[in-house]
Homo-oligomer: A and B are copies of this chain.
Amino acid sequence: MTPSPPRAVILLSGGLDSATCLALARQQGFECHALSVAYGQRHAAEIAAARRIAAALGAHEHRLAHVELGQFGGSALTDPAIAIPENSEGDDIPVTYGPARNTVMLSMALAWAEALGACDVFIGVNAVDYSGYPDCRPEFIAAFQAMARLATKAGIEGRPLSIHTPLIELSKAEIILLGTTLGVEFELTVSCYQADDEGSACGHCDACRLRRAGFTAANITDPTKYRISS
């Protein structure tokens, strides 16, 4: 009898990065339990994209967990009063940053991992293109992992939990190249902060600009559906 593959929880936003992350976890032999966290973000089209990606990439199951995080405000992604930025520059933290968002999403993944008996959690954070977000930095991830090992039964019992961030040091172009070799269908993914219900992208927000530049730098045709030509 072949042993069961180890289980992993993969945070799946519906974007390009987390899709690549899921493909990588599958390639590494994990039984993948994909988790999308709906926290009141504007880009609900990403949730529909996440369902398609989970199916296309052979996730064992896909779950959606609602978390009432948007009520606290403080982010352009959940607060209609804050405009979506189109040309963020410099060292400031972007207004799309959501207070403690990755902490909350990783905590939800941790809860599911513990209930599943899984010791591996994957998150597609990236410190290169989004370096302004405090909770995308390697030192944050290391601290979360240290905390998680103390928070759980598994940690106490000597089965320490690992937070995998395979994309953290990659550029957007490198992620696109990696995803391409892993068979990710990028046309299923949605990165735009203000995608419409069909998942068509605005082409102008920071997320669109990064994605577009990534495909150009990778010399791969961008399959994104844009609402406007530019």
Asked if A115 meets B137 with Cβ closer than 8 Å, knowing A108-B104, A146-B147, the reply is no
Which chain B residues lie closer than 8 Å to A151 at the CB level? 100, 102-103, 134-135, 140, 143-144
The answer to whether B144 touches A147 (Cβ under 8 A) is yes
Chain B residues with CB under 8 A of A104: 104, 107-108, 110-111
Copies of chain A in the complex:
2
Indicate whether A83 reaches chain B with its CB closer than 8 angstroms: no
Taken residue by residue from 134 to 160, chain A's Cβ proximity to chain B (1 for < 8 Å, 0 otherwise) reads as 110101100110111011110110000
Quick one: which of A81-128 are within 8 Å of B by CB?
93, 97-104, 107-108, 110-112, 114-116
CA distance A127 to B111 in the complex (A): 21
Tell whether A67 is near chain B: CB-to-CB under 8 Å. Answer: yes
- Return the chain B residue nearest A37 by Cβ: B68
Task: Determine whether the beta carbon of A143 is less than 8 Å from that of B147.
Answer: yes
The listed residue with most B CB atoms (<10 A of its CB), out of A103, A139, A144, A146, is A103
User: Is residue A74 contacting chain B, with contact meaning CB distance below 8 A?
Assistant: yes
Given known A66-B68, A108-B104, A134-B152, contact A99–B115 (CB-CB < 8 A): yes
Q: Which 7 A-B pairs have the closest CB atoms?
A: A99-B114, A74-B115, A100-B111, A143-B147, A72-B115, A65-B68, A107-B107
